[in-house]
Amino acid sequence: MRPGFRPLARASLIIALAAFTSSSPAAPRDAKEKALVQHVTAGEKAHIELLEQLVNVNSGTMNLAGVRQVGDLLRPRFEALGFKVTWVDGTPFKRAGHLIATRPGRGQHVLLIGHMDTVFEPNHPFQRWQRVDENIARGPGAADDKGGIVVALAALDALRQAKLLDSLQITVVLHGDEEDSGAPLALARHDLIEAAKAADIAIGLENAADNPKTAVTARRSSTGWVVKVTAKSSHSSQIFSDNVGAGAAYELGRILNGFYQEVRGEEFVTFNPGLIASSTQVDFKGQPLSATLSGKNNIVAPTAIASGDLRTLTVQQLEETRAKMRKVVAASLPQTSAEIEFTDNYPPMAPTEGNRKLLSLYDGVSKDLGFGPVTEVNPRNAGAADISFAADHVDMALDGLGLLGGGAHTPDEFADLRTYQIQTQRLAVLLYRLGRR
Ligand SMILES: [Zn+2]
């Protein structure tokens, strides 16, 4: 998952879990659901051992061999469940690739989405699984997102053991570049989008918001913008004159202040300048984001640049905000001009009725299993993630059904193993009920 969410601190997660796990007695609806719960319970040890194995294989996004090695570990697991596994070569988009597992079936077509890569490259000190105590295991990707993959495998395994897997068509897409998507993005996300077009329902295995009482019905987009200002340069003593005008620095200041004063305000719309630079010489780089500059106080800066992100909840908000930003950019100060360029990255996942329908099904499963109600995460706290590429192509989408923990993207990342039963039982029974619809 990408930055933008606020993970619960470990202490508050533990308190939440303590209150959560004993909310009400379990009441699986029928014998099949009871059987699923038993299979999940019986399979925990073996699946946690698999998680440890996966975590101990470094799969930083740019460690292409490591990501493929994780895929090699997972392939036989899916094949044993009757899935046909293919590996999408990532060379065309400069990444390791994706694992796609498909399994035909009678009912609705469910797409499960996760990722094999982590933010921890081989040179990072945080490399190994470490069992802190019976409940907590630390490790790179323990929750984000290898834990999610294991929850899906365990739920599918329970359905297979209960002879219920044929009631659904299932496609599993596990990306090898979620944390740092390949380029061109359209190529890197092509297979997921095609799989979503063929599916009815999309389920994300992220550990969103790390709170078992919530799931994700909406995610904000993650897009970019760059403002480039050009102005007249001269000796500084002539700034403000009719001939020289305001200079690039003031013009950029005006534009950023205009964004803050005139564009800011709508709920779920944020735009952050990650870099601003102005001087006589400006050497700007978009990837990795940087600028080298030099100048003199007695020279009016002819160049100014700002780069930032823009996050919205819907495509309409995105277009309207871009229009407002363009309007601000166009109102140039004397003897200056500016242009703004927008880049698409992760689209928004709007909070549709279909997504809320799937949440209510999941909430029903959770209550019946004795795990209490589930509500939607505030999209302000849900970063961008791959499900956003699928959400527009399916009837219902929901994310955050993976293993929970905390400290994602930090050397303190941990998985709370008590959520293994909660998340795996809920996913297994949800899939079973979807197979009966
Ligand atoms: Zn993730």
Query: What does the pLDDT profile of the chain (437 residues) look like in tens digits?
Result: 444 444 445 555 555 555 555 556 677 788 999 999 999 999 999 999 999 999 999 999 999 999 999 999 999 999 999 999 999 999 999 999 999 999 999 999 999 999 999 999 999 999 999 999 999 999 999 999 999 999 999 999 999 999 999 999 999 999 999 999 999 999 999 999 999 999 999 999 998 666 789 999 999 999 999 999 999 999 999 999 999 999 999 999 999 999 999 999 999 999 999 999 999 999 999 988 999 999 999 999 999 999 999 999 999 999 999 999 999 999 999 999 999 999 998 999 999 999 999 999 999 999 999 999 999 999 988 888 999 999 999 999 999 999 999 999 999 999 999 999 999 999 999 999 999 88
Which of 346, 370, 389 terminates a domain? The answer is 346
Residue 205: its pLDDT value, please? 97
Domain end point (choices 320, 346, 372): 346
Distance 330 CA to ligand 1 centre (A): 38
Whether residue 135 is found in the same domain as residue 275: no
Decide if 378 is inside a domain. yes
Q: Examine the domain organization and report whether 39 and 71 are in the same domain.
A: yes
Q: How far apart are CA 365 and CA 244, in angstroms?
A: 68
Residue 173 CA to ligand 1 center (angstroms) comes to 13
Residues 6 or more apart from 417 whose CB is under 8 A from it? Answer: 48, 134, 135, 136, 137
Q: Which of 177, 208, 174 is nearest to 192 (CA)?
A: 174
CATH number at residue 396: 3.40.630.10
Find the 385 Cα to ligand 1 centroid distance in Å. 7
Q: Are residues 187 and 248 in the same domain?
A: no
Residues 59 and 145 in one domain: yes
Q: How far is the CA of 38 from the centre of ligand 1 (A)?
A: 28
Cα–ligand 1 centroid distance for 338 (angstroms): 37
175 CA to centre of ligand 1 in angstroms: 10
Same domain, 68 and 185: yes
Cα of 361 vs centre of ligand 1, distance in Å, is 24
Shared domain for 332 and 368, answered yes or no, is: no
| 50 and 181 inside one domain | yes
Nearest to 383 by CA among 357, 345, 414: 345
CA of 207 to the centre of ligand 1 (A): 7
Q: How far is the CA of 61 from the centre of ligand 1 (A)?
A: 11
| Whole-number pLDDT of residue 8 | 47
* Residue 2 within any structural domain of the chain: no
Residue 129 CA to ligand 1 centre (angstroms): 17
Ligand 1 centre from 179 Cα, in Å?
7
Q: Could you tell me if 336 and 353 lie in one domain?
A: no
pLDDT at residue 315, rounded to an integer: 93
For residue 415, how far is its CA from the centre of ligand 1 (angstroms)?
Answer: 13
Domain match, 170 and 198 both: yes
Domain that holds residue 276: 222-346
pTM beyond 0.95, yes or no:
no
Give distance in angstroms: CA of 3 to centre of ligand 1: 9
Q: Please tell me the predicted confidence (pLDDT) of residue 12.
A: 58
Q: Domain holding 304: CATH number?
A: 3.30.70.360
Residue 104, in any domain of the structure: yes
Q: Which of 346, 362, 389 is the last residue of a domain?
A: 346
Residues 212 and 304 occupy one common structural domain: no
The answer as to whether 322 is a domain residue is yes
Task: Please state, in angstroms and as integers, the Cα–Cα distance from residue 186 to each residue in 59, 183, 397, 414, following that order.
Answer: 23, 8, 21, 32
- Whether residue 269 is contained in a domain is answered as yes
24/131 same-domain check: yes
> Per the domain annotation, does 29 fall within a domain?
yes
- Residue 330 has a CB neighbour count (10 Å cut-off) of 12
pLDDT of 40: 98
Contacts of 437 (CB under 8 A, 6+ apart): 107, 108
Per the listing, tokens 């470094």 go with 58
Cα atoms in the 13 Å half-sphere on the side-chain side of 104: 0
**194 and 248 fall within a common domain:** no
Is residue 180 one of the residues assigned to a domain?
A: yes
CA of 191 to the centre of ligand 1 (A): 18
Nearest to 368 by CA among 18, 17, 37: 37
Evaluate whether residue 196 is within a structural domain. yes
Q: What separation in Å is there between the alpha carbon of 286 and the centre of ligand 1? A: 24
Write out the residues surrounding ion ligand 1, Cβ under 5 A: 1, 144-145, 206
Query: For the chain, what is the domain count?
Result: 2
